């Protein structure tokens, strides 16, 4: 669940190789630890045998089947459609389409790739509701606005989880909230919000104006995205 994988199945590099499969390039493994007790008999000084119980730990690097290519079909779990495709919300679809952003669907992770400048979203049908899908898309498109050729927003992020990361995530979450309010969507809190809040609190404790700064950036991002929709409407009216 923490990794965002749909499948509970994991295997080592050698196990995947034995099945004729291979780890997808660029994927990182996760460490697990196997704990057990080794039992063996040893001769005591008086000549009798005594049972020795020796606890041990052994670490393995494993990969989720979603990170592996070429596995037999039975190792892959297809997400059950929870959202009916007919539940797509027309106004939201038109709003996000107007941005012209490169939005790709597939996999089980929602993120913005700054280097390649695209938004990755899991399939629409895998979300709990339409509102959750559009709120997630709003969050990632708020990140999309930070690109240098758009709003050029940079909080000096150096690594995942640092202060710059927390500030940008706060902007993205506020931006998503503003956009959802504008579009009349009422998404439910996500499982990842608790983790985000922990990082936000560190920033807010150190900078009492951080929330106002983040809100201002979020509003600029929301206005920027609204600009595409307005331009599309104006073109339609002119036609």
- pLDDT for 22: 93
Torsion angle in degrees (nearest 10) through CA of 187, 111, 229, 212? 70
What pTM was estimated for this model as a whole?
Answer: 0.64
Crossing angle of helices 90-97/130-144, nearest 10°? 20
Tokens at residue 133, please?
Answer: 């899908």
What does the pLDDT look like over 121-152, one tens digit per residue? 998 988 888 999 999 999 999 999 999 999 99
Q: What is the pLDDT of residue 203?
A: 76
Predicted pLDDT of residue 106: 83
Q: Residue 86: pLDDT band by 50, 70, 90 thresholds?
A: low
pLDDT at 239 exceeding the cut of 60 = no
Over range 111-121, report the average pLDDT: 92
Instruction: Say if residues 91 and 76 touch (Cβ distance below 8 Å).
Output: no
How far is it, in rounded angstroms, from Cα 103 to Cα 124? 12
Model confidence pLDDT, tens digit, residues 13-42: 999 999 999 999 889 899 999 888 888 888
Sign of CA dihedral 221, 224, 226, 228: negative
Helices (H) and strands (E) in the chain, counts: 6, 8
Check whether 182 has a pLDDT greater than 60.
yes
Query: How many Å apart are CA 183 and CA 134, to the nearest integer?
Result: 10
166 CB neighbour count, 10 Å cutoff: 23
Given a contact cutoff of 8 angstroms between Cβ atoms, the answer to whether 33 and 62 are in contact is: no
Task: Give phi and psi for 229, each to the nearest 5.
Answer: -65, -40
Q: Between 7 and 139, whose confidence is greater?
A: 139
Whether the per-residue pLDDT at 235 is higher than 80: the answer is no
- The residue ranges of DSSP E strands in 68-190, in sequence order, are 68-69, 103-105, 111-113, 118-121
């Amino acid at each position: 669940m923490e990794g965002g994988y749909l499948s509970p199945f994991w295997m080592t590099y050698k196990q995947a190789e034995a099945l004729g499969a291979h780890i997808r390039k660029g994927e990182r493994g996760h460490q697990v630890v196997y704990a057990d007790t080794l039992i063996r008999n040893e001769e005591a000084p008086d000549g009798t045998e005594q049972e020795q119980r020796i606890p041990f730990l052994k670490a393995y690097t494993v990969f989720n089947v979603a990170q592996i290519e070429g596995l037999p079909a039975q190792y892959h779990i297809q997400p059950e459609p929870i959202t009916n495709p007919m539940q797509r919300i027309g106004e939201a679809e038109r709003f996000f389409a107007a941005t012209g952003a490169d939005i790709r669907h597939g996999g089980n992770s929602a993120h913005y790739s700054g280097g390649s400048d695209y938004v990755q979203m899991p399939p629409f049908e895998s979300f709990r509701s339409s509102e959750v899908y559009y709120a997630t898309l709003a969050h990632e498109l708020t990140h999309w606005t930070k690109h240098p050729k758009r709003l050029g927003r940079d909080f000096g992020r150096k690594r995942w989880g640092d202060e710059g990361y927390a500030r940008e995530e706060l902007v993205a979450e506020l931006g998503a909230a503003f956009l959802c309010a504008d579009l009349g969507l009422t998404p439910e809190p996500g499982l990842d919000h608790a983790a985000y809040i922990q990082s936000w609190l560190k920033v807010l404790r150190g900078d009492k104006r951080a929330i106002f700064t983040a809100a201002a950036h979020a509003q600029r991002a929301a206005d920027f995205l609204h600009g595409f929709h307005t331009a599309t409407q104006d073109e339609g009216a002119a036609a």
